[in-house]
Amino acid sequence: MKKFVKIAWRNIWRNRRRSLITMTAIMFAILITGVTRSLQYGTYDTLESYAVRLMTGEMQLQKKGFFEHQTLAYSFPENLYPWDRLMDEYDFVEAYARRITSYGLVGSATTSAGAMIIGVEPGREKQVTYFMTQLAAGETLDDGDDRRVLLGKGLADNLNVTPGDTVVVLTQGFRNQLGADMYVVKGLIRSGNQELDRALMVMPLHNAQDLFSLYGRITQIVLATRDFRRTEDYASRMHIAMDGEELRVLPWQTLMPELLQLIALDNISGAIFLLFLLLIVGFEIMNTTLMAIMERIKEFGILQSLGVKPRQISLMLLLETGMKISLAVSTGLLLTFLFIQLIKDYPIPLSSELKKAMEAWGFYTDFYFTDRVRVFIEPLVAISVIAVLSVIYPIWTASRLRPVDALRKGQL
């Protein structure tokens, strides 16, 4: 085997020009694939983090049925569980906030509109989400506020109100009681999600409990975790049950399926582009290897005349190709790693026009790079498989040469 390895290295050096072409194609493909996937996954991580932490939260505890029906009938006691123990019992939980979510009619002096009304604990809510800090005007809510609300910028425009104005809320309470009250607008929220901004009203939790006659009860517990990408695993490890009440633990992947679909579609389009790139590289490797074999037909004929068996020639070619591929892949991965390390702290900013276009989707973010392991594993596996498949036919062709035919073709 050592003799074949030496011969393979010598042949690679002797045909270094053609070998360099093949290796460069592989290295370029790995670099392009790695950087492209780094950009995609880095942007996905930023997008997911932004969208998840905006308002929904990374995980939620809800009574079974609330996610499907969104009614107060699926509320539960706010002291059902000693929530401060969550951080001690589950090391992945970093913060929590209690919340009430329901709907009502919000009116001003001139008009009215339907709204999604959210009751929050301002201090805790800011630890798990940040929609309350996305202000377009006024100030955000504080723990000591009473009968103060935040409105989405779109809802405020529809109602023709500004910070300092008063709005009236009319709604149906927990046991079908009529809920009505007046609130002062403290600030306006511009989250980036136009649909949300046209229907959002936020008030302190105790005011929401009074409005909905939901005394001592809530509809959700919102959690912030150590790693939002692992929330499905975290959810499977949590079990909250007390006093006959059992809560569902829902990760953001369940709460926001449309976000996963959007990312999946974009990922598929990126994968199709990379597939075409890999096919081009595969044809380049096959063509280069086949041309190199055709140039060495006479050499193979002489070797067979001297007693070298076809399988030994195939082994020699396989070693040559394997060495070239291994060296090219290793160098390509190293270059990709170094390049990503240089650029990962410098996101690509969006133009103002593109930001405006993306606001219609409910988010906008710059393009980020990441150095996650899968960025390097994917091109390593893909390019290696393509390269191996590309040399099967040339090596099979060389193994079928007969000495007389090889010598005759070598003289042509």
In this predicted structure, the answer to whether residue 411 has a pLDDT above a threshold of 50 is no
Strand partners, 137: 188
Kindly report, residue by residue over 94-116, the tens digit of the pLDDT: 999 999 999 999 999 889 999 99
CA angle, residues 246, 252, 254, in degrees to nearest 5: 70
The closest of 255, 206, 251, 257 to 233, measured between CA atoms, is 251
CB 83 within 8 A of CB 224: no
Residues contacting residue 395 through CB under 8 Å, at least 6 positions apart: 289, 293, 314, 317, 318, 321
Mean pLDDT across the stretch 396-400? 69
User: How many residues are given for the chain?
Assistant: 412
Q: What is the pLDDT of residues 41-58, one digit of tens each?
A: 887 777 777 788 888 999
**Quick check: helix, strand or coil at residue 4?**
helix
Q: How does DSSP classify residue 54?
A: I
Residue-wise over 265-297: b if at least 16 C-beta within 10 A, else e?
eeeeeeeeebeebbeebbebbbebbbebbeebb
Q: Determine the 3-state secondary structure of 344 from DSSP.
A: coil
> What CATH number does the domain located at 76-218 have?
2.40.70
The whole-number average pLDDT for the span 69-83 is 89
Query: pLDDT for 345-369, tens place per residue?
Result: 888 776 666 566 555 554 556 678 8
Q: How many CB atoms lie within 10 A of CB 152?
A: 27
The string of pLDDT tens digits covering residues 160-215 is 999 999 999 999 888 888 889 999 999 999 887 788 899 999 999 999 999 999 99
**Domain assignments of the chain as residue spans, ordered by start:** 2-52+259-411, 76-218
> pLDDT class for 328, splitting at 50, 70, 90?
confident
User: Quick check: 380 pLDDT over 90?
Assistant: no
Averaged over 379-383, what is the pLDDT? 81
Mean of the per-residue pLDDT values of the chain: 82
Tally: H helices and E strands in the chain: 16, 13
pLDDT digits (tens, 9 = 90+) for 117-162: 999 999 999 999 988 988 999 999 999 999 999 999 999 999 999 9
Task: Count the neighbouring beta carbons within 10 Å of the beta carbon of residue 184.
Answer: 14
Q: Say what the pTM is.
A: 0.72
Kindly tell me if the per-residue pLDDT of 262 is higher than 70. Answer: yes
Residues 313-331 have a mean pLDDT of: 78
Question: Average of pLDDT values for 359-385?
Answer: 75
The rounded distance, in Å, linking the Cα atoms of 38 and 50 is 18
What number is the average pLDDT over the span 225-250? Answer: 83
Element (H, E) at 207: helix 205-211
Tokens found for residue 378? 């994917």
Whether pLDDT at 406 is above 70: no
Check residues 151 and 300 and name the one with the higher pLDDT.
151
Give the model's confidence band at 22: pLDDT under 50 very low, under 70 low, under 90 confident, else very high: confident
CA-nearest of 3, 12, 10 to 325 is: 12
- 3-class SS at 113? strand
Nearest to 37, CA basis, from 349, 353, 278, 386: 278
Give burial (CB, 10 Å; 0-12/13-18/19+) of 62. Answer: buried
Q: What does 119-164 look like in DSSP terms, one character per residue?
A: EE-HHHHHHH--GGG-EEEE----TT--SEEEEEHHHHHHHT--TT
- Six token digits for residue 181: 């009250």
Tokens found for residue 1: 């085997």
pLDDT above 70 for 232:
yes
